[in-house]
């Protein structure tokens, strides 16, 4: 669920928002395009770089990456969200109709292409519209409501790459479709906030309500009148936005604009009683849950499908918000109907995984390095027969859910013991020629150096005891 943001780039005209040109059916055979003719090959083998704005997740990054994944997965399951996966490629119109024309995401950032059949497709820039599409396509309105779904996947936006802003990035998100209730919004904010908190990052929720579509329309009339009266004080880009997408002026970080916006009309004053009550209930639930939040009257997330609650989550210690939010979301009551479904309400959030990776790294850099706790086991081997037996024992342990460090490619026992020391395991299980013959394993306590011999048949129970899984 993208949020509109301030950009200084000149708008590029794209034809996707115009009526599609209908091609006449031709009887001619399609001309086969050869990709190899058009792709400029590098003359130096192995010198390819990643595409601008896209990056690899290397084994070094993957420890944090997987930690975030498992945290997200476990919290989503704990709150009874079911996993969904939708295709990365969608019809471009899906996002034009949902996110709306006049937004950066649709007008400038979508990865658009025609496939070989001439279908106008895109790489998804966000997931909410895809999930709404899936909800309609699979008749999920006939399931018990609400339908709670979570996802993890890559999104694509052709934006200007900078710190924390990529062209391919990843989101974890949750959507609750089929219920218009403040407790749904509070639950989603709680899941988003607690995912970040469980990762050890202090965060702050920024929250606002933009009411119903009708209330917002009234507010926009008032806002446009006000902005026109202050036109001469506004930055050039905001002047241009008054007519095109006035809500985006509220997003401006320009000092001149901020001063004007602060004095201007606030959307909260345009909400009717029902919208106000709804919003107050969301805030009461957050108080109950001790979730820290600030009311942010300029937070509007400027997309066509939002209504009522909107929120974003920032690292708590960051005054400078230019690197962007860790995540955001809101209620999207009009969306399902906008996409041709029934009048079904929905609400959701998405967190940016790359932004969380940055926050985790910054946190680690700030804190003093703490040596990892003594723990875990290393399985070492010496000699070809022992190596074979080690492979067998590894599988035996894995089937019992026991994961041990090992390196079958290193024949030297010295090297293996050095590694075991470095990663601070409590014990190393050693199998050499003699142990293979005797059917035993030598167990070395890495702290005291004391060694004992145990029967290979007992290895699973011994490993469990050493790991504290079993007494
Ligand atoms: P949005 O759908 O724009 O509200 O985005 C939700 C979250 O995804 C943001 O708060 C960011 O954490 C992350 N995000 C959005 N765009 C990008 C991007 N271009 N690169 C990296 N993360 C992004």
Output the DSSP codes for 348-374: EEEEEHHHHHHHHHHHHHHSPP-PPPS
* Å from CA of 298 to ligand 1 middle: 18
CB 251 within 8 A of CB 4: yes
Distance 245 CA to ligand 1 centre (A): 20
Least-confidence region, from 105-114, 120-129, 192-201, 316-325: 316-325
Q: Which of 325, 332, 349 to mutate to test the pocket of ligand 1 (most atoms within 8 A of CB)?
A: 325
More confident residue, 387 or 365: 387
> For the residues 122-142, what does the mean pLDDT come to?
98
252 three-state secondary structure: coil
**Domains identified in the chain and CATH numbers:** 59-211+271-366 (3.30.930.10), 377-467 (3.40.50.800)
Residue 102: per-residue pLDDT? 76
**CA–CA distance, 223 with 242 (Å, rounded to integer):** 9
* Three-class DSSP labels, 29-56: CCCCCCHHHHCCCCCCCCCCCCCCCCCC
Atom of ligand 1 nearest to the CA of 350: 6
Ligand 1 pocket: which of 160, 350, 360 to mutate (most atoms within 8 A of CB): 350
3-state helix, strand, coil in the chain (%, to 5): 40, 20, 40
Given a cut of 80, is residue 470 above it in pLDDT? Answer: no
Per residue in 238-276, pLDDT (tens digit) is 998 898 888 889 888 888 899 999 999 999 999 999 999
Q: Report d(CA 20, CA 18) in Å as an integer.
A: 6
Measured distance between the N- and C-terminal CA atoms of the chain, rounded to whole angstroms:
49
Q: Are 141 and 178 in contact (CB under 8 A)?
A: yes
Give me ligand 1 centre to Cα 149, in Å.
19
Comparing C-alpha atoms, which of 300, 310, 314 is closest to residue 246? Answer: 300
**What separation in Å is there between the alpha carbon of 185 and the centre of ligand 1?**
20
User: What is the C-alpha to C-alpha distance for residues 306 and 376, in angstroms, rounded to an integer?
Assistant: 48
Top pLDDT among 61 and 17 is at: 61
Peptide bond into 146 cis (omega under 30): yes
Contact assessment for residue 105 and residue 95, using Cβ atoms and an 8 Å cutoff: yes
Q: What span, in angstroms and rounded, lies between the C-alpha atoms of 402 and 181?
A: 44
CB 100 within 8 A of CB 304: yes
The candidate with the shortest Cα–Cα distance to 331, out of 308, 304, 312, is 308
Q: Are 166 and 347 in contact (CB under 8 A)?
A: no
User: Is residue 214 scored above 50 in pLDDT?
Assistant: yes
Centre of ligand 1 from the C-alpha of residue 129, in Å: 15
Q: Whose CA is nearest to atom 13 of ligand 1?
A: 352
Residue 415 makes CB contacts below 8 A (sequence gap 6+) with: none
The Cβ-side half-sphere exposure at 460, using a 13 Å CA radius, reads: 10
Q: Taking 70 as the threshold, does the pLDDT of residue 297 lie above it?
A: yes
CA distance 427 to 448: 10
- For residue 441, the CA-to-ligand 1 centroid distance in Å is 51
**Index of the ligand 1 atom closest to the CA of residue 329:** 4
Give, for 330, the enclosing helix (H) or strand (E): strand 327-331
pTM of the model: 0.83
Cβ(435)–Cβ(457) below 8 Å: no
Residue of the CA atom closest to atom 16 of ligand 1: 165
The residue contributing the CA closest to ligand 1 atom 2 is 2
Ligand 1-lining residues (CB < 6 angstroms): 1-3, 126, 157, 159, 164-166, 169, 171, 324-328, 350, 352, 354-355
Could you report the per-residue pLDDT of 24-64, keeping only the tens digit for each?
Answer: 444 555 555 555 555 555 555 668 999 999 999 999 999 89
Rounded-to-integer distance, Cα 353 and Cα 350, Å? 9
What distance in angstroms lies between residue 195's CA and the mean position of ligand 1's atoms? 16
Dihedral sign for Cα atoms in the order 70, 332, 112, 87: positive
Q: Which atom of ligand 1 is nearest to the CA of 126?
A: 2
Pocket test for ligand 1, best of 169, 321, 349 (most atoms within 8 A of CB): 169
Q: What percent of the chain has pLDDT over 70?
A: 88
> What is the distance between the alpha carbons of residues 45 and 114, in angstroms, rounded to a whole number?
30
Residue with the nearest Cα to atom 4 of ligand 1? 2
Tokens matching residue 166: 């990529």
Q: What DSSP line would sit under 134-181, residue for residue?
A: HHHHTTGGGSSSPEEEEEEEEEE-----BTTB-SEEEEEEEEEES---
Atom 11 (ligand 1): residue with closest C-alpha? 352
Top mutation candidate among 201, 299, 324 for ligand 1, by most atoms within 8 Å of CB: 324
What is the average pLDDT score of the chain? 89
Decide: 161 and 52 in contact? Cβ < 8 Å. yes
Distance 356 CA to ligand 1 centre (A): 11
* Centre of ligand 1 from the C-alpha of residue 213, in Å: 24
CB contact at 8 A, 420 and 382: no
């Amino acid at each position: 669920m993208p949020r509109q943001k301030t950009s200084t780039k000149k708008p590029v005209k794209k034809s996707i928002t115009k009526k599609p040109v209908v091609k006449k059916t031709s009887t001619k055979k399609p001309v086969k395009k050869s990709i190899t003719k058009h792709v400029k090959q590098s003359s130096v083998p192995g010198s390819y770089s990643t595409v601008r704005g896209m990056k690899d997740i290397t084994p070094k990054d993957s420890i944090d990456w997987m930690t975030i994944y498992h945290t997200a997965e476990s919290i989503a399951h704990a709150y009874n969200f079911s996993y969904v996966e939708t295709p990365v490629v969608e019809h471009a119109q899906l996002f034009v109709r949902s996110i709306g024309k006049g937004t950066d995401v649709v007008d400038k950032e979508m990865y658009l292409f025609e496939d070989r059949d001439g279908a106008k497709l895109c790489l998804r820039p966000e997931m909410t519209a895809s999930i709404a599409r899936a909800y309609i396509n699979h008749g999920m309105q006939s399931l018990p409501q609400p339908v709670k779904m979570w996802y993890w996947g890559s999104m694509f936006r052709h934006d200007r790459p900078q710190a924390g802003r990529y062209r391919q990035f990843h989101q974890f998100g949750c959507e609750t479709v089929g219920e218009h209730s403040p407790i749904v919004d509070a639950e989603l904010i709680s899941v988003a906030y607690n995912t970040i908190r469980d990762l050890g990052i202090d965060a702050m929720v920024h929250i606002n309500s933009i009411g119903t579509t009708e209330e917002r329309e009234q507010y926009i009339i008032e806002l446009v009148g006000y902005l026109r009266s202050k036109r001469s004080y506004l930055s050039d880009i905001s002047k241009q936005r008054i007519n095109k997408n006035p809500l985006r002026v509220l997003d401006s970080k320009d000092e001149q604009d901020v001063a004007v916006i602060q004095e201007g009309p606030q959307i909260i004053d345009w909400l009717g009683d029902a919208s106000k009550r709804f919003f107050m209930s969301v805030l009461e639930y957050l108080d109950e849950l001790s979730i820290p939040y600030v009311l942010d009257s300029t937070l509007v997330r400027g997309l066509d499908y939002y209504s009522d609650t909107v929120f974003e989550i920032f690292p708590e210690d960051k005054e400078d918000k230019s690197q962007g939010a860790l995540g955001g979301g809101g209620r999207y009551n009009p969306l399902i109907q906008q996409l041709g479904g029934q009048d079904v309400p929905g609400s959701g959030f998405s967190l940016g995984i790359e932004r969380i990776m940055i926050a985790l790294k910054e946190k680690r850099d700030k804190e003093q390095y703490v040596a990892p706790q003594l723990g875990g086991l290393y399985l070492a081997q010496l000699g070809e027969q022992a190596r074979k037996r080690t492979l067998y024992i590894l599988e035996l342990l894995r089937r019992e859910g026991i994961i041990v460090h090992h390196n079958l490619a290193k024949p030297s026992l010295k090297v293996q013991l050095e590694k075991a020391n470095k990663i601070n395991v409590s014990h190393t299980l050693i199998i050499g020629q003699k142990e293979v013959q005797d059917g035993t394993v030598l167990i070395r306590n890495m702290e005291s150096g004391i060694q004992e011999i145990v029967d290979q048949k007992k290895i699973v129970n011994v490993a469990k005891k050493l790991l504290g899984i079993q007494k």
